[in-house]
């Protein structure tokens, strides 16, 4: 017989004027290889069909099932109940707009962040159907790919003290995007333009080095390295301007 699991789950429907924020308790017997996604699906099917939570791929790829699991942001589909104590508290990610219960709207936040930092290849030739893509060195392509693995789950944003305090902070996820585009020779933005985008309180200078972003990233992205690289590049660029070095 598996463990008896007790779930404390946040409940609130902002669309319903009678709804009051609270936690509801549910009990389930643990089964082999049970993930939080499986547990939540069973609770919804067997105990409360009104429970709201998001999932899509069930494989850690779509990023939609992120929630706060015993105080730590993570992906429900990749979290095994056997790695947790028998009492499990599930809350929605902070920072993002609550849709209901454990479901939040990360899409609006990510769209606005991507527009703010211009998270795409800036290159007019990209719109020319006859243009030929330049060859890229394999090692560089792999370096870019490493940073491209972000699934926009929002865990790093939810775990970041600055993002929780400042609505305008773009987060480590955006700085990772900029670091990725700075590597990409197809992006024609110059260093100055990149730094104008991130050299503000909303970007690099808003980060207080709290490190939670990298700790919780389910894709284990090297977010701290990217923050350090950007800071160093900005420092060099300022020195070069000071000493008028080309």
- Residue ranges binding ligand SF4 (CB under 6 A): 150-156, 173, 176, 217-219, 221
Q: Characterise 159 by phi-psi region: left (phi > 0), alpha (psi -120 to 50), beta (else).
A: alpha
131 contact choice in ligand SF4, ligand FES, ligand F3S, none (CB below 5 to 8 Å, kind-dependent):
none
Residues 6+ apart with CB under 8 A from 4: 27, 28, 29, 30, 86
Compute the Cα dihedral for 14, 17, 21, 27 and give only its sign.
Answer: negative
Nearer to ligand F3S (CB atom), residue 88 or residue 174:
174
206 binds ligand FES (CB under 6 A): no
DSSP 43-85: HHHHT-TT-----SSSSSSS-TTEEEETTEEEEGGG-BGGGS-
- Identify the helix (H) or strand (E) that includes residue 140: helix 138-148
CB of 65 to ligand F3S, least distance (A): 21
- Output 57 or 165, the one with its CB closest to ligand FES: 57
10/37 with CB nearer ligand FES:
37
| Residue count (the chain) | 246
Question: Which contiguous run of DSSP H or E holds residue 22?
Answer: strand 22-29
Span of 50-58, 83-91, 111-119, 156-164 interacting with ligand FES by CB under 6 A: 50-58
If contact means CB under 5 to 8 A according to the sort of partner, which of ligand FES, ligand SF4, ligand F3S, none does residue 162 touch?
ligand F3S
Q: Give the interface with ligand F3S as residue ranges (CB under 6 A).
A: 160-162, 171-172, 207-213
75 makes contact, choosing from ligand FES, ligand F3S, ligand SF4, none, with CB < 5 to 8 Å by partner type, with ligand FES
Which partner from the list ligand FES, ligand F3S, ligand SF4, none does 207 bind, CB cut-off 5 to 8 Å by kind? ligand F3S
What φ, ψ does residue 150 adopt, rounded to 5°?
Answer: -60, 135
Distance, CA of 210 to CA of 56 (rounded, Å) = 31
* Least distance to ligand F3S, CB of residue 203, Å: 10
Q: Which does 209 bind (CB under 5 to 8 A by kind): ligand FES, ligand F3S, ligand SF4, none?
A: ligand F3S
65 scored as a contact of ligand FES (CB under 6 A): yes
The least distance separating ligand SF4 from the CB of residue 195, rounded to whole angstroms, comes to 21
The one of ligand F3S, ligand FES, ligand SF4, none whose footprint includes residue 160, by CB under 5 to 8 A per kind, is ligand F3S
List beta partners, residue 68.
Answer: 73, 91
Report the alpha-carbon distance of residue 73 to residue 160 in Å, rounded: 10
């Amino acid at each position: 017989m598996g463990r008896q699991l007790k779930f404390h789950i946040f409940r609130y429907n902002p669309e319903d004027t009678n709804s009051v924020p609270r936690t509801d308790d549910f009990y389930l017997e643990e089964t082999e290889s049970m993930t939080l996604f499986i547990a939540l699906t069973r609770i919804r099917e067997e105990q409360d069909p009104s429970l709201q939570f998001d999932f899509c791929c069930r494989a850690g790829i779509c990023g939609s099932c992120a929630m706060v699991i015993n105080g730590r942001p993570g992906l429900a589909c990749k979290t095994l109940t056997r790695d947790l104590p028998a009492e499990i508290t599930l809350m929605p990610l902070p920072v993002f707009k609550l849709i209901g219960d454990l479901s939040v709207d990360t899409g609006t936040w990510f769209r606005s962040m991507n527009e703010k930092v211009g998270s795409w290849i800036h290159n007019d030739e990209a719109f020319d159907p006859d243009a030929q893509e330049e060859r890229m060195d394999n090692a560089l392509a792999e370096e870019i790919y490493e940073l491209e693995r972000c699934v926009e789950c929002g865990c790093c944003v939810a775990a970041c003290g600055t993002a929780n305090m400042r609505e305008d902070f773009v987060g480590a996820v955006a700085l990772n995007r900029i670091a990725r585009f700075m590597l990409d020779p197809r992006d024609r933005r110059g260093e100055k333009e990149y730094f104008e985008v991130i050299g503000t309180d909303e970007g690099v200078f808003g980060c207080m080095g709290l490190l939670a972003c990298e700790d919780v990233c389910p894709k284990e992205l090297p977010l701290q390295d990217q923050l350090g690289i950007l800071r160093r590049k900005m420092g060099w660029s300022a020195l070069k301007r000071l000493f008028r070095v080309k």
